[in-house]
């Protein structure tokens, strides 16, 4: 009788231990599941932002390239700075391609199997790591893109100003000539030709003979 009671008590203790363990696992699974769901919501928001902003970024890069090419075709443009800026744009495009690869990783772990506790934990951990990496690199890219945009806009305005200043020092000469002709019908006609020539005036240099004073206008030296 005593042995039966002892055996029953042992079985009851084991049962309570198993039940407590199962309850603890269930609570843990619920915590991980909630964390995973929260990370997915944040990831979806970031992916949507990147999708919209990256399209705008690519369009901006194409425009910057076109503006730099147009400036390079102008006389006295700073081709070294133009080439450097174009190289910086290409580097941003390369970083943007890396962002796309990270987006794919985030999406993969958003849709990873979570049918058991181990798979759920793995999906949650990997989603967290890839999301943090994507968020950090995207923030850096946005900052670098904004900085380069300001640099290019400042340069284009300054370089265009230099070209305009160079053009303002040129002299434009317009010459019009007329030639008279007699048509077969006996009517007199005149053909007018206009020629426009733009030149840059040379710097005027005045040579003085050493030791000989210059004469002032209206003064006679005896």
Judge whether 1 lies within some domain: no
Name residues whose C-beta falls within 8 Å of residue 65's C-beta, 6 or more positions apart in sequence.
Answer: 86, 89
pTM for the structure as a whole: 0.63
pLDDT tens string 55-92: 999 999 999 999 999 999 999 999 999 999 999 999 99
Report yes or no: 167 and 187 within 8 Å, Cβ to Cβ: no
Judge whether 203 lies within some domain: no
Query: Does position 47 have pLDDT exceeding 50, yes or no?
Result: yes
pLDDT tens string 133-147: 999 999 999 999 999
Judge whether 182 lies within some domain: no
Judge whether 22 lies within some domain: no
Range of the domain at 59: 44-157
51-61 in b/e form (b: 16+ CB < 10 A) is eeebeebeebb
Judge whether 35 lies within some domain: no
- Total number of domains constituting the chain: 1
Indicate the length of the chain as a whole number: 222
**Residues 101, 180: Cα–Cα separation, whole Å:** 75
Judge whether 137 lies within some domain: yes
**Residues 68, 152: Cα–Cα separation, whole Å:** 8
Per the structure block, which two tokens stand in for 100?
Answer: 């796309």
């Amino acid at each position: 009788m005593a042995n039966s009671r002892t055996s029953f008590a042992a079985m009851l203790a084991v049962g309570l231990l198993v039940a407590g363990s199962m309850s603890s696992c269930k609570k843990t699974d619920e915590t991980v599941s909630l964390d995973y769901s929260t990370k997915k919501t944040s990831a979806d928001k970031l992916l949507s932002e990147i999708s919209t902003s990256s399209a705008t970024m690519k369009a901006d890069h194409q425009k910057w390239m076109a503006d730099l090419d147009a400036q390079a075709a102008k006389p006295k443009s700073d081709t070294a700075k133009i080439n450097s800026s174009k190289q910086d744009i290409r580097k941003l495009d390369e970083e943007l391609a890396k962002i796309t690869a990270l987006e794919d990783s985030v999406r993969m772990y958003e849709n990873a199997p979570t049918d058991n506790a181990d798979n759920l934990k793995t999906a949650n951990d990997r989603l967290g790591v890839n999301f943090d990496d994507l968020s950090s690199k995207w923030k850096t890219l946005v900052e670098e893109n904004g900085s380069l945009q300001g640099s290019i806009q400042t340069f284009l305005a300054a370089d265009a100003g230099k070209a305009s200043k160079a053009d303002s020092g040129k002299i434009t000469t317009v010459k019009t000539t007329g030639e008279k002709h007699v048509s077969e019908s006996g009517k007199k006609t005149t053909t007018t030709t206009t020629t426009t020539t733009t030149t840059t005036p040379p710097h005027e240099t005045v040579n003085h003979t050493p030791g000989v004073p210059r004469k002032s206008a209206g003064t006679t030296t005896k």
